[in-house]
Chain A
């Protein structure tokens, strides 16, 4: 398996001298194509810092971040921005859809801004909306969509085009349990199709959807689950047949 995201002894220090605080302290993590890794830990453990570094929104004080084969530290600002736009998708708790644009236009917009022709971007957007089960809502505006549907649009926006890395920060935050579960199902399916995913969550039930769970405390990885074996066909706790 090739790692789409690789963090190699990554450190991020805020401040300097006596007031320096290491938000991340020598963290190494590799996420392969098709893999979903959950990151858990208490507030201030470094979860968001890790996500920002992985997406090239922030630069490490030490160590290396490699995305899709590019060492982010070796890219200039322009190349980094291009990689961020084309290869990385973000899903946040706040969905941030533009209210004046339809679901399809919201998904297509970042691609169009990136120079993709409108027609092609729209076709990609429709394909992405179909993947998250929203093909028939493509023309709806954000205020006509439920919270769960809006988050699905955000996921479609994050995977449209040639994205290889999906970074999700508490994507189920404001959603009820069943809708949250559906959102995780959609994220999981995107990863099963070959995208590498990182999910920051404080809810164990959502971390359960990941192939691996990494625990952060005080900027360090303190624990990690084994990569889960595929589900035995039909066999399971509480089940028969």
Chain B
């Protein structure tokens, strides 16, 4: 997963120890993705096994696994893996277990009012979330925190897409109603 690539990206700038890597990861993503230090060491262990990182030769003293003072550097294979990662698009599995889609399709059987109720309740919640993110964004922009700003922009874009989709669902639901053939 992408934790390993995020660590490689940090090491591409220069050798670092495990705790520094954890701090840098969290500075980028904040509370969005808390990372425990054990996860950093186990990931570094796998990266070393695969030849993507190596203990930094400039680091004095006998290396001990898991030692937070141990300094790591990226290898050429690691740089290649990082370049491949940057060049590959991230795959998205959009519909996997989407509860809202399950709820909305189920509501179709319960009738128009139920569907519209689901749509409107969800859209109100989505807009409230958007308001919350927008305030957080103003705060992040004021502090000049670009990584956090990008993370909030993603949340806003997702909420916006959901709101637009709900608008479309509402339009389709009401149009289907109008176009019903009278019996």
A residues apposed to B, CB below 8 Å: 40, 42, 185, 188, 203-205, 207-211, 213, 215, 217, 222-226, 228, 230-231, 233-234, 236-241
A231 x B138 contact (CB < 8 A) = yes
Residue B50 is within 8 A (CB to CB) of chain A in the complex: no
A237 x B32 contact (CB < 8 A) = yes
A222 to B170, CA, bound (A): 12
Contacts of B128 in A (CB 8 A): 225-226, 228
B160 x A215 contact (CB < 8 A) = no
Contacts of B163 in A (CB 8 A): 204
- Closest residue of chain A to B159 (Cβ to Cβ) is A204
A223 x B120 contact (CB < 8 A) = yes
Among A217, A223, A224, A236, residue most surrounded by chain B Cβ atoms (within 10 Å): A236
A207 x B136 contact (CB < 8 A) = no
Given known contacts A42-B171, A223-B124, A209 and B134 CB-to-CB distance under 8 angstroms: yes
Given known contacts A222-B120, A224-B124, A239 and B131 CB-to-CB distance under 8 angstroms: no
1/0 per residue, CB under 8 A from A, across B20-40: the answer is 000000100111100000000
- The bracket for how many chain B residues form the interface is 35 or more
Say which residue of B124, B151, B156, B159 sits within 8 Å of A239 (CB atoms): B151
B160 x A225 contact (CB < 8 A) = no
A238 x B127 contact (CB < 8 A) = no
B residues apposed to A, CB below 8 Å: 26, 29-32, 120, 123-124, 126-128, 130-136, 138-140, 143, 145, 148, 151-152, 154-157, 159-160, 163-164, 167, 170-171
Number of A-B contacts (CB under 8 A): 105
A240 x B136 contact (CB < 8 A) = no
A173 to B131, CA, bound (A): 20
A238 x B167 contact (CB < 8 A) = no
Given known contacts A42-B167, A205-B156, A223-B120, A237 and B132 CB-to-CB distance under 8 angstroms: yes
Given known contacts A205-B130, A215-B123, A223-B120, A231 and B135 CB-to-CB distance under 8 angstroms: yes
5 contacts across the A-B interface (CB closer than 8 A): A203-B160, A207-B131, A238-B30, A238-B155, A239-B152
- Closest residue of chain A to B151 (Cβ to Cβ) is A238
| Nearest CB in chain B: distance from A208 CB, A | 4
| Nearest CB in chain B: distance from A168 CB, A | 16
A225 to B128, CA, bound (A): 6
| Nearest CB in chain B: distance from A182 CB, A | 10
- Closest residue of chain A to B26 (Cβ to Cβ) is A240
